[in-house]
Amino acid sequence: MDRREAVQYISLLLGGTVVGGNAFLTGCKSNTGKEGTFSEDDIAYLNEIANTILPDTSTPGAKAAKVGEFMTVMINDSYEEKDQKIFHDGMDKLNEFSKKTYDNSFMKLNGQQRHDLLVQLDREQKDYMKNKKKEEPSHYFRMMKELTLLGYFTSEIGCTKARRYVETPGKYDPCIPYNKGDKAFA
């Protein structure tokens, strides 16, 4: 029995399908040689996009959590080739949209221009996702935004600084008070 069969049997025992089961099975694929398809400039670019989505406030932003590096690992290791292409093409489209809108690349824009640009792209992706057919791919900006949120809130910074962190192991206390406006628990 190979790993793929074992995962399938386990998922059947657990009641059908495993959410994100494809992520388990992607580990079974041989490396396609795609590793390293992102340059250091690409990582810096993705960090800036992520930091515009989740900027530094009273807590460190996405750039401090190295979300750009996280995105590259997820894209290279977990996404199918067609989704990798959409993501890579989306990086170029975002930069082209920036040049069309502000006559400058995304990296050369000021913070407010970056924010305004990403707000426009977010509206575009919401409209696209609302009207897309099931077989059509996701919008590239939606991928970027989802990976930003996932990367940030699963990072040490996101879990310990942006959310209320109660270290474990420790005693179980089911009645930790929560007041409106408090951070969510990590």
Give the per-residue pLDDT at 19.
Answer: 43
- Rounded Cα distance between 55 and 58, Å, is 10
Residue 161 scores a pLDDT above 60: yes
Residue 26 phi, psi dihedral angles, 5° rounding = -65, -25
What pLDDT is stored for residue 163 in this prediction? 84
Is the pLDDT score of 102 beyond 50?
yes
Distance CA 96, CA 100 (A): 6
> H-type helices in the chain, by residue range?
3-13, 21-26, 40-53, 67-78, 81-102, 111-131, 140-153, 156-160
Residue pair 186/166 in contact (Cβ under 8 Å)? The answer is yes
Instruction: Give the Cα separation of 157 and 57 in Å (integer).
Output: 13
C-alpha closest to that of 148 among 90, 74, 79: 74
Q: How confident is the model at residue 7 (pLDDT cuts 50, 70, 90)?
A: low
Task: Name 185's bridge partners.
Answer: 164
Of the two residues 163 and 154, the one the predictor is more confident about is 154
Partner residues linked to 164 by β-bridges:
185
- Binning pLDDT at 50, 70 and 90, where does residue 18 land? very low
Measure the CA–CA gap between 26 and 93, rounded to whole angstroms: 27
> What is the structure's pLDDT at 166?
72
Q: Is the pLDDT of residue 20 over 50?
A: no
pTM of the model: 0.74
- Tokens, residue 96: 């082209």
Tokens of 52: 């515009």
